[in-house]
Chains A and B, each alone.
Chain A
Amino acid sequence: MTTVDGVRLDAEPRPGQCLRTFLREHGHHAVKKGCDAGDCGACTVLVDGGPVHSCLYPAVRATGAVVTTAAGLPEGPADPRPRFAAAAGFQCGFCTPGMVTTAAIASDPLADPAQRARVLQGNLCRCTGYRAIADALDGRRTVEPDGGIGASVPAPATDRVVRGLEPYTLDGDAPPGTAHLVVVRSPHAHARVTRIDTAAALAVPGVLAVLTHVNTPATLYSTARHENRLDDPDDTRVLDDVVRFHGQRVAAVVGTDLAAAEAGARAVVVDYEPLPPVLDPETARDAPPVHGDKPASSRIADPARNVVAALHQGVGDVAAGIAEARRDGGAVVTGTWHTGRVSPASLETHGSRAWVDAGGRLVVRTSSQVPFLVRDELARLLDRPPASVRVHTARVGGGFGSKQELLTEDLTALAALGTGRPVQWELTRTESLTATPTRHPMRVSVTVAARPDGALTALAIDVLSDAGAYGNHSPGVMFHGCHESMALYRCPNKRVDAEAVYTTTPPSGAFRGYGLGQVQFAIEGALDELARELGLDPFELRRRTVVRPGEDFVASADPAEHPDDLAFGSDGLPQCLEDARAALDRDGDPAPTGPTWRVGEGMAAAMIATIPPRGHRARASVALDGGRYRVRVGTAEFGNGTATVHAQIAAAALGARVDQVERHGGDTDAVGQDTGAFGSTGTVVAGSAVARAAEALAAELRGKAAARLGIAPGDCVLGPDGVRAPDGRTVALTDLSGARAEGAHGGSPRSVAFNVHAVRVAVDTATGEVRILRSVHVADAGVVVNPQQCRGQVEGGVAQGLGTALYEEVRLDDAGRVTTRVLRDYHLPQFGDVPRTEVLFADTVDALGPFGAKSMSESPYNPVAPAVANAIRDAVGVRPRRLPMTRDRVWALCREAAR
């Protein structure tokens, strides 16, 4: 008998069961699964008062023990939960129950910075960058109870999140009879499936069905989801008879429980005929075609050459620009940079549950940023009308772009329809690290030329993007990556030569920054080198060369021939540069002493469009129900803070208190249309739709009240309790209940947001260790709707940028198999790895965004790695050109410098 949160649990655990699943099986869903391997801490519980990773703890050993989860921590002064609430110490919140149970230990070790890093080593947060968590531990209050635009009100779900009571995708009771799905994966990087024998698997007790390429639709689609489904090549099958990367899905086994499904998966016999692997993107264009079998309707640029997408375009004359720089005594810089394969690694892995409801409709509950787009493509794959499919999310445990994909829903839906039972599939962390999309690795060559005063005369890039085995997001990432990175700089002669190529490696996909981080790593490095050659301060070089209001945004296309909808809704870039320069010189840790340490500074700038091109739609409705406003949106909350921002926007438009607003989102039943939560659109697109709906409702309420009061609507003031006339007469909100209005936004026109990151680093030339002594980030987000949340977005982006810069890489062996299969081997930044970053906001008001706001989700990531690289160059005299800049690589670089 175990006692859990004060309640007896009499059940007997299974012999090989860990405490995590034992607790969850019995309804204790405050215990999360982030890694299932003792690395992330999301499942931390107290056993007889001591914290353990419950995924590693044999459940049998907890017999007779007192177990405490985040939901059952004792209230009182030592309770860490109110402190996490007061400091907004979470974003998606999936790690939070494990954080608070860990923080529930005696506070002494948490007070000492060195010990704190050790205590929190086993608690990973992928969203916050840990500053807000440090504030929680320190007892700082950074949220305010109420307020409109510009107030740091807490996330509406705060109390439930810190108590572990907020349901995520697979929390809450599964529908009765839920079966489980396990996938058989390819042991080859490239092979033809010549035979699948499922007889033995079907004979395993509890196995309900085995899905293979034989009994699933052969329809070609893309796992990537966009507003326009034609944006991505249709090159993927649910289950294919050719496998194109090590770890690709080959079959899916459905069992009454996970043990049966796993046993069935082991019993599936697959014969493969190996095909030549294509592992090197540099030679891929001359290699055997990976998708040579695809029709023109798949929209692959050149399948015979393994080219998914290509862009060869320019303005002016780059050669003439180079000649001009040379003639005038300026400088010409050329170089090549490489970026790594990085995993989004949201703490909640991909997973979904599918079932058929009483009305015959297919319902899918999934961890997704794009429920509407998943519904539309599922309907297409299943050959059903979209109205016969409902897709919804709970709170999503992080995404960062990785959930702008259809990765699990197809199989759970097919399995549910095939077996007549609800079916659940939750990816393991190893599946997530080895078989879900990563950032596109890129090789970027840059040529940049300038006159002695820094005026650019030529800017050209040659980009090779590794799509991996499928083209999901590869065209979009390539085009986007080569756009704002180039358009940021004024230069009459520009050229982009870019190709994305297939290899038989795990597919690349969408990830925060969507290509810009890779290309900017190269361009910002080249500009840093240019500044050195010209003897200019790198901030000053940017100040002189960045695009200014009134000028066209030119990446590589002539604006006269290719007009677009991008505009300067506001311009905070000069302020970002100035404030970052000034802040870098302030403060910072002292440099380590010793003869092998060198100190250097570096910076980088970045621009991003506030909305993706080619359409991004949102609809919203606001209804008055009694004295409360119910906002319905399509977009999901995955830690980006839109649930808070939308409540603030609605409250501001309606003169209401934030706590009068309830938001329902992430559901295809909520509104008619929503492209989804990607491209940093939660505030500017969905938020604009909410603003328009709320403003329309406000007008309607004033109009109705005015009619009752017999005065003009313009004389009425809408407030938290009702509509007030100048003479003090009031129509109560409850008397207007039932009023409802809608709003929409089509994603155009689009503005631009800016970010500048600057660091001072110390490098130990003997070991390659890089220490960040000072880190500053200035963001131009327009009017900041919620400063704490926006700061958290910036800090989280910076932390991910530092992970990319210094630690993270999905590594493959010579056979194309991923070797970084668990989080012990794929190093996500820990509490102790992330320095404090001073975050400043430019003071601008955007003409296009809601209440003057701009996007600020992806872009903080982009300038971080190049700033660190430029600082390392400044410190050691040799330029790092490959990410991540791990200690072994920096050490090798220093040896190169010494020669």
Chain B
Amino acid sequence: MDLLTVGTFARPPDDLALRALQPTLGADRTLLGGGTWLFSTPQPHLAGLVDLTALGWEPLHVDDDGLTLAATTTFATLAGVDPAAHPAWPAVGLFAGCCEALVGSWKVQRVATVGGNVCLGLPAGPMITLAAALDGTATLWDRDGGERTAPVVDLVVGPQRTALAPGEVLRSIHLPARALRGRTALRKASLSPLGRSAALLAGRLDGPDDGSGFTLAVTASLPRPAVLRYPAVPDAGTLAADVAALGDAVGVGGGWYDDPHGSPAWRRAMTLLLAEEIRVELGEVPG
């Protein structure tokens, strides 16, 4: 939809230009990724947009340390990464599944960006799930020319709330090779076949050379992402107790998420069910 209060549209062509604009970012001037969320709902507080899509950031950078996704990488680009081209990294198989989990259509996925999905901070944001399951680290540019890194899972602190500082830019997300070498499993529950995730869980089992650890990212059924880590595949009872504790905890920001996409009680049950399915799938010795 038209954002009728927006009076400026900056399209920095390079990093220098973006850096120069960062101090102008604030409550009324924001970064624009794909725009698929920003243009989908009224934004009467906005007077200006700074578009990131002309910067020419390399969508995917591969080296021995792992894979780095530019914030501006589209879902379609990510989904198009061929797992066969990365035989040492079975976790690449998780990319397409996480992209599919977006409630937005295939046409939205051609435009929507990885960074935009993370910065929006929706409980059902599947790039948050991906990064959480694969130990993704964000590189952030502050408005004074500095840079910091932080685990993606720590950036999202609540529904549409992030720990990004004013004017801060999410530059990229690094997925370490160690995590990419793991085997993964993805499960989703929703009220309709292609509906918004009510629970979206991704698990990872590292190989013996990487310590055999088991990681489970729990999203969509909680107000913010959670990660459970175990030195090995846990037994069913342990995992169930830990998963249940994630949402059963009371207090500020606790509880199972409640919105029109599923009741909290059902989300809790689906989260437990899907966690166990992932545990069983990854616990099986690959034949």
Contacts and interface: CB of A to CB of B under 8 A. Distances in A.
Given A21-B2, A824-B196, A38 B39 contact: yes
Contacts of A826: 260
Nearest to A259: B4
B8 interface: yes
B198 to A, nearest CB: 8
A74 B9 CA distance: 33
Contact of A892 (B34, B106, B265): B265
Contacts of A283: none
B238 interface: no
Interface in A74-113: 102
Interface string B3-26: 111111101000000000000000
B176 interface: no
B158 to A, nearest CB: 18
Given A807-B191, A824-B103, A892-B266, A18 B1 contact: yes
B2 A17 contact: yes
A814 to B, nearest CB: 12
Contact of B270 (A52, A262, A767): A767
A574 interface: no
A806 B193 CA distance: 11
B51 A18 contact: no
A899 to B, nearest CB: 14
A728 B244 CA distance: 89
Contact of A55 (B8, B39, B198): B39
B197 to A, nearest CB: 12
Contacts of B39: 18, 38, 55-58
A886 B191 contact: yes
Considering residues A18, A118, A768, A887, which has the most beta carbons from chain B within 10 angstroms of its beta carbon? Answer: A887
B32 interface: yes
B7 A15 contact: yes
A41 interface: yes
Given A60-B9, A121-B194, A891-B269, A15 B105 contact: no
Contact of B51 (A39, A61, A825): A61
B44 interface: yes
Interface string B73-91: 0000000000000000000
A831 B159 CA distance: 29
A888 B108 contact: no
Considering residues A37, A117, A266, A809, which has the most beta carbons from chain B within 10 angstroms of its beta carbon? Answer: A37
Interface string A435-477: 0000000000000000000000000000000000000000000
Contact of A14 (B2, B105, B267, B273): B2
A387 interface: no
A826 B110 CA distance: 23
Contacts of B260: 809, 811, 819-820, 825-826
A60 B53 CA distance: 12
A693 interface: no
A60 B4 contact: no
Contact of B105 (A53, A57, A891): A53
Given A15-B9, A892-B266, A41 B105 contact: yes
Interface string A248-261: 00000000001100
A414 B53 CA distance: 45
Interface string B237-260: 000000000000000000000011
Contacts of B11: 60
A812 B193 CA distance: 24
B3 A16 contact: yes
A563 interface: no
Contact of A827 (B2, B41, B192): B192
Interface string A663-693: 0000000000000000000000000000000
Contacts of B198: 888
Contacts of A60: 9, 11, 51
Interface in B174-196: 189-196
Contact of B192 (A15, A118, A833): A833
A887 B266 contact: yes
B228 interface: no
B1 A119 contact: no
Contacts of A18: 1-3, 39
A57 B263 contact: no
Interface in B109-142: 110-111
A811 B2 CA distance: 27
A820 B194 CA distance: 18
Contact of B194 (A102, A117, A262): A117
Nearest to B76: A50
Interface string A611-645: 00000000000000000000000000000000000
Contacts of A53: 36, 105, 107-108
A118 to B, nearest CB: 6
Contact of A44 (B8, B36, B107, B267): B107
Contact of A57 (B111, B261, B267, B270): B111
A122 interface: yes
Interface in A797-831: 806-807, 809, 811, 819-820, 822, 824-827, 830
B262 A887 contact: yes
B192 A56 contact: no
B46 interface: yes
B235 to A, nearest CB: 20
Contacts of B108: 38, 53, 56, 122
Contacts of A887: 189-191, 262, 266
Contacts of A122: 104-108
Given A38-B104, A56-B36, A766 B273 contact: yes
Interface in A31-84: 36-39, 41, 44, 50-53, 55-58, 60-61
Contacts of A55: 1, 39-40
B35 A56 contact: yes
A612 to B, nearest CB: 34
Nearest to B194: A121
A16 B9 contact: yes
A767 B188 CA distance: 11
B191 A822 contact: no
B164 interface: no
B271 to A, nearest CB: 12
A832 interface: yes
A56 B32 CA distance: 12
A15 B49 contact: yes
Interface string A548-582: 00000000000000000000000000000000000
A811 B44 CA distance: 25
Interface in B143-201: 189-196, 198
Considering residues A768, A807, A826, which has the most beta carbons from chain B within 10 angstroms of its beta carbon? Answer: A768
A225 B273 CA distance: 51
Contacts of A37: 1, 40-41
A891 B270 CA distance: 10
Interface in A390-407: none
Nearest to B9: A15
A246 B46 CA distance: 25
Nearest to B267: A888
Given A20-B1, A833-B192, A888-B198, 8 more contacts: A51-B107, A58-B9, A58-B32, A60-B9, A122-B106, A807-B191, A826-B260, A891-B269
7 interchain residue pairs of minimum CB distance: A122-B105, A16-B6, A16-B3, A888-B266, A15-B9, A259-B4, A36-B1
30 contacts: A14-B6, A15-B9, A16-B5, A36-B1, A44-B107, A50-B110, A51-B110, A53-B36, A56-B108, A56-B111, A57-B111, A58-B35, A60-B9, A122-B107, A258-B4, A262-B44, A263-B5, A766-B273, A768-B266, A807-B192, A809-B260, A811-B260, A822-B40, A825-B259, A825-B260, A833-B193, A887-B191, A888-B267, A892-B263, A892-B266
Interface of A: 14-18, 20-21, 36-39, 41, 44, 50-53, 55-58, 60-61, 102, 117-119, 121-123, 258-259, 262-263, 266, 428, 766-768, 806-807, 809, 811, 819-820, 822, 824-827, 830, 832-833, 886-889, 891-892
